[in-house]
Amino acid sequence: MHFELTEEHKMIRDTARDFAQNELLPGVIERDTHEKFPAEQVKKMGELGFMGMMVDTKYNGSGMDTMSYVLAMEEISKIDASASVVMSVNNSLVCWGLEKFGTEEQKEKYLKPLASGEVIGAFCLSEPEAGSDATSQRTTAIDNGDHYILNGTKNWITNGNSASVYLVMAQTDVEKGHRGINCLIVEKGMEGFQVGKKEEKLGIRGSDTHSLMFTDVKVPKENRLGEDGFGFKFAMKVLSGGRIGIAAQALGIASGSLEFATKYAKERKAFGKPIIEHQGVAFKLAEMATKVEAARHLVLKAAWLKDQGMPFDKESAMAKLYASEVAMYASVEAVQIHGGYGYVKEYHVERLMRDAKITQIYEGTSEIQKIVISRFLANE
């Protein structure tokens, strides 16, 4: 057992760090203020190979491992969690799912442009009345010969307007419960598919979150992912991996908060010395650093398990649960250490604090992660 990153991993982390510092940091406050999608920056992330990191090179991906993905996610999330959620959804919910469960034709048609970052994808599970209780899908996909007729509404969809390809969960056979759910690949522009209102959010304000409406959308049968009725399992499997990505995002928000707060505490003087020399501040930083390191270990362990082809569902839930708590904790402390400066936009930490909250909610709330973890304990 060793804890040293490989030279390749260090290179990927450093590339992501440079990108975050040089390309994301300069406009991040403006994008957050005006809820502006980071289109240019996402395009550059595609050029760097960050939009399909784990996808095989034969499908235009970067052919990297999950460890590389979480290292890049942490660096990007330190600065811009709006950009990193676009990256995370595209990588782990859309590309990974298509590569693992898609047909060769689906990979050629949809995965290739998604993995290169030419287009963006969205994952559509949540509904007005189906969030945590994800089996209660009201959206229907009625079997109609060579196609399905899709009707319903999806809520809080990340990349809702900027995406071109949507993985949509819908109920085909109500009698079969969750075993009657399918996942369909829906293209923007299909007749009857409408992007609804954009949500005004507390955090990750640069990412575009929308409701989506489907009215008698004809989706060809060849656009179904997996066997008939595989949709719910597909969503669960994909979300297990996705939770590693969101855990890495939360870790980045936490470690970014620590970095901003440490820098500030070294520069800011009060009562005749830098505030880092006051124990009240120094101890806060020590606790933040310890929790950040613990979260990093959980995130890397979950990523490593996935790369080894070993079960990782429990560990990804643990990583997300803990890293998102640390993101909240560390970002609140970072604001406190900054005092009045922490409460204004210029010093970045108030944004990190607002961005942190969503990591306890999306891709399964903290309570859902506890359900997943405790079910493992009950059955071990």
Whole-Å CA distances, 350 to 90, 114, 212, 219, 221: 27, 33, 30, 43, 47
Contact 212, 124 (CB under 8 A): yes
DSSP β-ladder status, 165-171 and 121-124: parallel
Q: Which stretch binds ligand CAA (CB under 6 A): 14-22, 27-35, 129-137, 195-203?
A: 129-137
* Residue 126 makes contact with ligand CAA by CB under 6 A: yes
The count of C-alpha atoms lying within 13 angstroms of the C-alpha of 242, restricted to the half-sphere facing its C-beta, is: 24
Rounded Cα–Cα distance for residues 220 and 146 (Å): 6
Beta carbon nearer to ligand CAA, 234 or 260: 234
> DSSP for 249-266?
HHHHHHHHHHHHHHHHHH
166 binds ligand CAA (CB under 6 A): no
- Stretch 241-280 residues interacting with ligand CAA (CB under 6 A): none
**Minimum distance, C-beta of residue 70 to ligand CAA, in the bound complex (Å):** 16
Selected catalytic residue, list 127, 315, 333, 363: 363
CA distances from 204 to 175, 192, 308, 340, 359 (A): 38, 29, 32, 22, 10
Question: Which of 17, 44, 198, 233 lies at the binding interface for ligand CAA (CB under 6 A)?
Answer: 233
Quick one: 222 or 227, whose CB is closer to ligand CAA? Answer: 227
363 annotated active-site: yes
Among 178, 188, 268, 278, binds ligand CAA (CB under 6 A): 178
Using CB under 6 A as the binding rule, whether residue 336 contacts ligand CAA is answered as no
Stretch that binds ligand CAA, among 33-41, 230-238, 330-338, 342-350 (CB under 6 A): 230-238
**CA nearest neighbour of 16 among 326, 248, 247:** 248
Gap between the Cα atoms of 159 and 111, Å rounded: 16
Q: Is 362 in the site for ligand CAA (CB under 6 A)?
A: yes
Positive or negative torsion for Cα 100, 104, 106, 109: positive
Judged by CB under 6 A, the residue of 89, 114, 265, 352 near ligand CAA is 89
Q: Name the residues annotated as catalytic.
A: 363
Q: Which residues bind ligand CAA (CB under 6 A)?
A: 85, 89, 123, 125-126, 132, 134-135, 158, 178-179, 232-233, 236-237, 239-240, 313, 362-364, 368, 371-372
